[in-house]
Amino acid sequence: MARIIVVTSGKGGVGKTTTSAAIAMGLAKRGHKTAVIDFDVGLRNLDLIMGCERRVVYDLVNVINNEATLNQALIRDKRCDQLYILPASQTRDKDALTTEGVGKILEELAKEFKYIVCDSPAGIERGATLAMYFADDAFVVTNPEVSSVRDSDRMLGILSSKSRRAERGEDPIKEYLLLSRYSPDRVKLGEMLSVDDVQEILSLHLLGVIPESKSVLNASNSGTPVILDEQSDAGQAYQDIVARYLGEDKPHRFIEEEKKGLFSKLLGRK
Partner 1 sequence: MSLLDYFRSSKPSSASLAKERLQILVAHERSSRNQPSYLPQLQQELLAVIRKYVNVGQDAITVNFEQDGNQETLELNIVLPDDR
Residue from 33, 55, 114, 150 touching partner 1 (CB under 8 A): that is 150
Stretch that binds partner 1, among 15-23, 101-109, 162-170, 196-204 (CB under 8 A): 196-204
Minimum CB separation of residue 163 from partner 1 in Å reads 15
Element (H, E) at 211: strand 205-211
Stretch that binds partner 1, among 104-112, 145-153, 214-222, 229-237 (CB under 8 A): 145-153
Q: How far apart are CA 138 and CA 132, in angstroms?
A: 8
52: closest CA among 69, 38, 33? 38
Q: Is 199 in the site for partner 1 (CB under 8 A)?
A: no
Q: Which residue's CB is nearer to partner 1, number 31 or number 172?
A: 172
Q: How far apart are CA 152 and CA 147, in angstroms?
A: 9
Q: Is 255 in the site for partner 1 (CB under 8 A)?
A: no
Minimum CB separation of residue 206 from partner 1 in Å reads 16
Q: Which residue's CB is nearer to partner 1, number 5 or number 192?
A: 192
- Please state the separation of Cα 209 from the chain's center in Å: 13
* C-beta separation of 176 from 207 below 8 A: yes
Q: How far apart are CA 255 and CA 36, in angstroms?
A: 28
Q: How far apart are CA 215 and CA 218, in angstroms?
A: 5
Residue from 201, 218, 243, 253 touching partner 1 (CB under 8 A): that is 201
Residue from 194, 218, 223, 255 touching partner 1 (CB under 8 A): that is 194
Q: Is 128 in the site for partner 1 (CB under 8 A)?
A: no
Strand pairing partners for 119? 7, 38
* C-beta separation of 115 from 34 below 8 A: yes
Q: Which residue's CB is nearer to partner 1, number 150 or number 253?
A: 150
Residue from 43, 146, 246, 267 touching partner 1 (CB under 8 A): that is 146
Minimum CB separation of residue 123 from partner 1 in Å reads 17
Stretch that binds partner 1, among 23-31, 71-79, 168-176, 194-202 (CB under 8 A): 194-202
Q: Is 183 in the site for partner 1 (CB under 8 A)?
A: no
Residue from 193, 216, 227, 228 touching partner 1 (CB under 8 A): that is 193
- Give the ranges where the chain is alpha helix by DSSP (H): 16-29, 46-50, 60-64, 70-73, 99-112, 126-133, 146-161, 164-168, 184-188, 195-202, 214-222, 233-245, 262-267
- Provide, for the chain, the percentages of residues in helix, strand and coil under a 3-state DSSP scheme, each rounded to the nearest 5: 45, 15, 40
Q: Is 256 in the site for partner 1 (CB under 8 A)?
A: no
Residue from 131, 149, 210, 219 touching partner 1 (CB under 8 A): that is 149
Site of interaction with partner 1 (CB under 8 A): 145-146, 149-150, 153-154, 157, 187, 189-194, 197, 200-202
